[in-house]
Amino acid sequence: MKSLKFKNGDEMPAIGLGTWKSDKGEVGEAVKIALKNGYRHIDCAATYGNEAEIGEAFSEVFSGGNIKREDVWVTSKLWNDSHKKEDVIPALKQTLKDLQLDYLDLYLIHWPVAFKKGIGFPKNDEDYYSLEEVPITETWEAMIEAKKQGLVKHIGVSNFSIKKLQDLMDKTDENPEMDQVELHPYLQQNELLEFCSSNNINVTAFSPLGSGDRADSMKADNEPSLLENETIKKIADKHGASAGQVLIKWNEQRGTAVIPKSTNEGRIKENLKSTGLKLDEDDLKEIAALDRHFRYVTGEFFVTDGNSYENIYDDADYKA
Ligand SMILES: NC(=O)C1=CN([C@@H]2O[C@H](COP(=O)(O)OP(=O)(O)OC[C@H]3O[C@@H](n4cnc5c(N)ncnc54)[C@H](OP(=O)(O)O)[C@@H]3O)[C@@H](O)[C@H]2O)C=CC1
Ligand SMILES: CCCCCC/C=C/C=O
């Protein structure tokens, strides 16, 4: 499998296991199945509400002796209610406690939006801090401090547009090492990838399969399906692969990491095997033509009138 390189020589396996929406009672087993079958990269977040069960799985696997902690790349993310400088390291320490780890390989600012302490999901404008009250630079400085303290090896961001990355880089001394964003054939984000590549920022693709298990309230009417797309299915048939494998491989082949979520044993194994596939020039040309700037995770639930962003991704063609 490919890996993504960091400035200090560390390598992150390109294919990891996503854990958003992986239910309690299932997620621990999914992580154990993944590690047993060759995954060495697990993507977590405090807001997924399942880090304690993932921690149990890590503890069991690492104490078994066959897989060492240092062989597995673990990412987690700072939730939006802990952006104030005094809240960042305590939130990180809670994640470390839940995951039963003494360091993370990568810690990300989950979204470029700050909520008041204790807010999981905002209900009104009062739940947000304004951009002036808690500037993202304040949060980033605390992330740098977490790295200095050895609590995390690498730091980065998630859901940051080029504009937000540039702004952060202009205002602080240390650049993000990662941007985790939605990427798939309907949202190819070539410009963002080029920007990141020229600034030594690695990229991770989230929702690579179209995030079909999101709650209905998070879905648009008549969302297009990636897994049922005729071009993807045709390419999958040509290679004797599944549609999911083509979607995962497409990301891996573009040089990003990719973190498909599954709690199903067969699909967990199938997804990792996508690394053995090779998409040819014709496949890549056909997939390139599928780009339609469609987001599954719109981020609209984090946008308010005065306190936050009118347009979280700074999309030129954004329509509220
Ligand atoms: N930074 C951020 O803001 C975000 C980060 N993420 C991260 O990215 C991960 C992946 O994204 P996510 O939104 O979960 O969605 P995915 O695109 O990974 O899709 C997950 C869905 O696909 C199904 N699935 C998995 N493998 C296959 C397969 N081979 N064939 C058919 N269906 C399959 C899963 O079902 P089943 O489990 O039954 O197999 C589930 O319903 C998240 O879990 C999270 O870790 C996601 C969104 C936002
Ligand atoms: C309470 C969970 C809200 C999740 C919002 C969007 C984030 C998705 C995955 O990281």
Quick: pLDDT tens for 14-41: 999 999 999 999 999 999 999 999 999 9
Average pLDDT over residues 171-175: 96
pTM of the model: 0.98
pLDDT for position 263: 98
Q: Do 71 and 42 touch, CB atoms closer than 8 A?
A: no
11 - beta bridge partners? 5
**Band (306; pLDDT cuts 50, 70, 90):** low
**For 232, left (φ over 0), alpha (ψ -120 to 50), or beta?**
alpha
Residue type present at position 44: C
CATH no. for 11-221+247-277+294-302: 3.20.20.100
Instruction: Let me know if 128 is a catalytic residue.
Output: no
Identify the residues whose C-beta falls under 6 Å from ligand 2: 20, 45, 47, 120-121, 297
Pocket test for ligand 1, best of 164, 211, 216, 227 (most atoms within 8 A of CB): 211
State the residue for tokens 């605390």.
142
Quick: pLDDT tens for 244-300: 999 999 999 999 999 999 999 999 999 999 999 999 999 999 999 999 999 999 988
Angle of helix 136-148 versus helix 85-99 axis, rounded to 10: 50
Degrees, nearest 5: CA angle 117-119-123: 135
**Band (319; pLDDT cuts 50, 70, 90):** low
CB atoms < 10 A from the CB of 203, how many?
Answer: 23
Closest CA to 183 of 248, 235, 107: 248
